[in-house]
Amino acid sequence: GATFEKPSETRIFTIANQKGGVGKTTTAVNIAAALATGGLNVLVIDNDPQGNASTALGLEHHAGTPSIYDVVIDDVPLSDVIQPCEEIPGLYGAPATIDLSGAEIELVSMVARENRLRNALRDHMDWRDENDEPRFDYIIVDCPPSLGLLTINAFVAAREVIIPIQCEYYALEGLSQLLKNIELIRGHLNPELHVSTILLTMFDKRTNLAREVAAEVRQHFPAQTLDATIPRSVRISEAPSYGQTVLTYDAGSTGALAYLEAAKEIAARAATPVESATAEKENS
């Protein structure tokens, strides 16, 4: 049985930050793996043409593999492209192939182009297992850094946003723009969307700068920022080249334990959801 709290309905997250290299993909796959390790059913949707999440989860994703492209562009049911991740029971992925790099342009002329992923997920939500349980407790969508139609599809499909923040000098730059964009999506396309979770990544507690950035983030977003922080860890960065998350690559490492702590906090919040971060930012 689950050692983490099971949500009453599927929680759908997207990982957002317009900066590249801040740990979006690493957070998506490792939080997902940690939640699955805690006994929950978790799906990662790789919504980035780079396919980094697919690599990290050890998914087949060579050209021609049924992928999220087929779901978003050709109405293929999500269940036709989902693959189980070998290493961790309960962990599944929908891969991205190189095809997805064309989707951004193909979407432009499509009807209801912002809603394609949401509709695919909704169709899948009706699916129940033999115990009438929803198939997934968590769905986590990994996005490219740009705010194109793929990312907008993720914002429309999700209810909660996780923002990973790298504790460095420019960390907060761009954050207010991201929050504005989320506010726009909320106003026009998805009233339920809110920033529920902020995770400090690549955190080096020995440096003053990292501690200062962390303090500032916590001051602006006291309810959203997880107590757990993710340290900079070689094991975390090595794991993807073995098609693994750090949870199996080195289960006892500080990185694995940090992601488990973060996932446990996220799961515990299923009962008491955190409200939007955007209002607080604007008042400060």
Q: Which residue ranges make up the site for Mg ion (CB under 5 A)?
A: 24-25, 52
| Residue of closest CB approach to Mg ion | 25
With CB under 5 to 8 Å by kind, the binding choice for 151 among Mg ion, ligand ADP, none is none
As to burial, measured by CB atoms within 10 angstroms (0-12 exposed, 13-18 middle, 19+ buried), residue 265 is middle
Q: How many residues bind ligand ADP (CB under 6 A)?
A: 16
Instruction: Enumerate residues 6+ apart whose C-beta is below 8 A from 48.
Output: 25, 96, 100, 142, 143, 144, 150
* Contact status: 67 vs ligand ADP (CB under 6 A): no
* Contact status: 185 vs ligand ADP (CB under 6 A): no
| Segment interacting with ligand ADP (CB under 6 A) among 23-31, 35-43, 96-104, 267-275 | 23-31
* Contact status: 237 vs ligand ADP (CB under 6 A): yes
* Contact status: 52 vs ligand ADP (CB under 6 A): yes
* Contact status: 40 vs ligand ADP (CB under 6 A): no
Q: Are 262 and 226 in contact (CB under 8 A)?
A: yes
Whose tokens are 């949401």? That residue is: 118
Nearer to Mg ion, 77 or 145 (CB): 145
Instruction: Enumerate residues 6+ apart whose C-beta is below 8 A from 165.
Output: 17, 22, 171, 172, 175, 198, 199, 200, 201, 213, 217
Map residue 125 onto helix, strand or coil.
helix
- The vertex-22 CA angle with 25 and 166, nearest 5°, equals 130
Whose tokens are 């799961």? That residue is: 267
With CB under 5 to 8 Å by kind, the binding choice for 210 among ligand ADP, Mg ion, none is none
With CB under 5 to 8 Å by kind, the binding choice for 237 among Mg ion, ligand ADP, none is ligand ADP
* Contact status: 22 vs ligand ADP (CB under 6 A): yes
* Contact status: 253 vs ligand ADP (CB under 6 A): no
Residue 281 CB neighbour total at 10 angstroms: 16
Q: How far is the CB of 211 from ligand ADP (least distance, A)?
A: 16
> DSSP secondary-structure letter at 240?
G
Q: What is the dihedral of CA 253, 255, 261, 263, to 10 degrees?
A: -120
Q: Which of residues 199-228 bind ligand ADP (CB under 6 A)?
A: 201-202
| Segment interacting with ligand ADP (CB under 6 A) among 66-74, 84-92, 177-185, 232-240 | 232-240
For ligand ADP, which residue of 199, 230, 267, 277 counts as binding (CB under 6 A)?
A: 230
Q: Which two tokens stand for residue 76?
A: 């293929």
For ligand ADP, which residue of 107, 154, 162, 236 counts as binding (CB under 6 A)?
A: 236
Nearer to Mg ion, 146 or 176 (CB): 146
With CB under 5 to 8 Å by kind, the binding choice for 202 among Mg ion, ligand ADP, none is ligand ADP
For ligand ADP, which residue of 3, 8, 9, 21 counts as binding (CB under 6 A)?
A: 21
CA-CA distance, 35 to 37, in Å (whole number)? 5
CA-CA distance, 182 to 194, in Å (whole number)? 8
Map residue 164 onto helix, strand or coil.
strand
* Contact status: 85 vs ligand ADP (CB under 6 A): no
What is the contact surface with ligand ADP in residues (CB under 6 A)?
20-26, 52, 201-202, 230, 232-233, 236-237, 255
